[in-house]
Amino acid sequence: MDRGHGLNILVDIGKTHVKNTGKISSVRLIVQKYGGTSVGSVDRIKAVAQKVYASHRSGVKTVVTLSAMGGETNRLIQLASQFHDDPNPRELDALLSTGEQVSISLLCMALQNLGVEARSYTGHQVRISTDSAFGKARIESIDAEHIQEDLDSGLVVVVAGFQGVDERDNITTLGRGGSDTTAVALASVLNADECQIFTDVDGVYTTDPRIVPDARRLSEITFEEMIEMASQGSKVLQIRAVEFAGKYNVPLRVMSSFVDGPGTLITLEDEDYMEKPVVSGIAFNRDEAKLTVRGIPDQPGVAAKVLVPISEANIEIDVIVQNVAKDNSADITFTLNKNDLRRAESILKGIANDLGAKEVSADGKIAKVSIVGVGMRSHAGVAAKMFACLASEGINIQLITTSEIKIAVIIEERYLELAVRALHTEYNLENSTAF
């Protein structure tokens, strides 16, 4: 695929993948992104400045994008919540974008102390144009002219992550973890040789190393697997960033801000995926909740009657299961984000009579565990093994959903860590050497 987008790109995130060897022959331009922990204190910002300086000194044009200092975005959300349970989205985005404005200017000061000419830009200043979906805006184009001019004059350019501006000049934000997407979008528009995501772990692991200390760093993972891992809850990369990098063939690497090392390269799937381990990683998500509508007369259109009002309220749903009992009444269960549970519950309780439903019940104490691997395509019995493993730990499976390279189950939240550890051992992920 052509990556020569000129100075503007129109972004249409999809899943078309193109060959990405991940090899850098002669590196000319790098985009580096540092996350919240990496810029969490004055000393850490100084340490980031040293790393950026090293890249710049080696003759590589260096563009940096930053998150807010660790904890700052949460602090701002908390501050807003003291004014309103559901703050005005435009004003919330204006507030949240300030975190990144602080970190970028501080990093530029630290770089200037090292004798490096550096210039910071907010999303507005470099015209990171987005749609107007406050809190989850999508990047539509970036005007990289100033960045390019600065780079040509030997400057380091530091761009605020996570933010953009819509066509009416409103400040927008890209959703939690959105600086990853800023970095990939910049790498794409600047035709960078690599987009390096520096964080507090030294790569992508078989599962979150905070839960399984024996988890193993993967030297490579395919875009497709990384998209599943991210969408199933592995927050090491924002899902849109991975989709974007896959679509625009941006070489993407996750690395540590604190220790040197090769990190994890996100690659295209190679032909020998049959040789890959069946399961490459385990993801989990504690943010989901479950709603069940019981005893609805089973007629054509019942699922729509339940789910249309939910989607009209802009509530996203994930897993859906419908069962029909012998008496021809249907139960519909679906999962959604915990934050939307009470709103969705009250919508359904409001229409329960019209639906002829016997009961609407909510459960906020569930979690989702997913096994992910391209090797699943060529193996039978993967699900059976997963279910047997969970059964042997006494863990009840409430819902199941699958895709070609993923099996996900909903279980009681209190069993989450046990399930992740048991599955990690079951698939021998501590020892697998295929990557």
Contact residues toward ligand ADP (CB under 6 A) are 35-38, 67, 177, 199-201, 204-205, 207-210, 234-236, 281
Region from 131-139, 178-186, 279-287, 310-318 binding ligand ASP, contact rule CB under 6 A: 178-186
Q: Which stretch binds Mg ion (CB under 5 A): 35-43, 129-137, 142-150, 367-375?
A: 35-43
Q: Which residue lies nearer to ligand ADP by CB, 70 or 251?
A: 70
The Cβ of residue 316 has, within 10 Å, a number of other Cβ atoms equal to: 10
Are the CB atoms for 50 and 198 separated by under 8 Å?
no
User: Cα–Cα distances in Å, from 187 out to 25, 32, 85, 100, 396?
Assistant: 17, 9, 37, 19, 44
Q: Does 164 bind ligand ASP (CB under 6 A)?
A: no
Residue from 62, 73, 101, 370 that binds ligand ASP (CB under 6 A)? Answer: 73
Q: Does 251 bind ligand ASP (CB under 6 A)?
A: no
| DSSP symbols for 285-320 | ESSEEEEEEEEEE--TTHHHHHHHHHHHTT--EEEE
Task: Give least dist CB 206 to ligand ADP, A.
Answer: 7
* Contacted entry of ligand ASP, ligand ADP, Mg ion, none for residue 140, CB cut-off 5 to 8 Å set by kind: none
Partner from ligand ASP, Mg ion, ligand ADP, none contacting 99, C-beta within 5 to 8 A by type:
ligand ASP
176 binds ligand ASP (CB under 6 A): yes
Q: Rounded CA gap, 78 and 73, in Å? A: 9
**Residue number, 135 or 209, with CB nearest to ligand ADP:** 209
Q: Measure the CA dihedral 410/412/413/419, to 10°.
A: -70
Contact partner, 205, from ligand ASP, ligand ADP, Mg ion, none, Cβ < 5-8 Å per class: ligand ADP
CB 338 within 8 A of CB 287: yes
Q: At its nearest, how many Å lie between ligand ADP and the CB of residue 84?
A: 27
Place of tokens 């997407």: 181
In which residue are the tokens 């193996």 written?
379
By CB under 6 A, residue 67 contacts ligand ASP:
yes
Say which residues have a Cβ less than 8 Å from residue 119's Cβ, sequence separation at least 6.
Answer: 108, 150, 155, 156, 157, 158
Select the span of 177-185, 240-248, 279-287, 314-322 touching ligand ASP (CB under 6 A). Answer: 177-185
Q: Which is nearer to Mg ion, 181 or 267 (CB)?
A: 181
The nearest distance, CB 178 to ligand ASP, in angstroms, is 5
Contact 170, 135 (CB under 8 A): no
Q: Please tell me whether residue 177 binds Mg ion under the rule CB under 5 A.
A: yes
How far apart are alpha carbons 72 and 38 in whole angstroms?
Answer: 13
The least distance separating ligand ASP from the CB of residue 135, rounded to whole angstroms, comes to 11
Q: Up-side HSE of residue 385: CA atoms within 13 Å toward CB?
A: 15
Nearer to ligand ASP among residue 119 and residue 240 (C-beta): 240
Q: Which among 318, 317, 321, 319 has a CA at the least distance from the CA of 308?
A: 317
- Our CB check for Mg ion shows the closer of 35 and 123 to be 35
Stretch that binds ligand ASP, among 17-25, 67-75, 350-358, 393-401 (CB under 6 A): 67-75
Binding of residue 123 to ligand ASP (CB under 6 A): no
Least Cβ distance, residue 219 to ligand ASP (angstroms): 24
Q: Which is nearer to ligand ASP, 68 or 422 (CB)?
A: 68
40 lies in the binding site for Mg ion (CB under 5 A): no
The kind and range of the H/E element at 113 are: helix 98-113
Residue 334 near residue 307 (C-beta atoms within 8 A) = yes
Residue 199 contacts residue 236 (beta carbons within 8 Å): yes
User: For Mg ion, which residue has the nearest CB?
Assistant: 177
Q: Which residues bind to ligand ASP, rule: CB under 6 A?
A: 35-36, 67-68, 73, 99, 161-162, 176-180
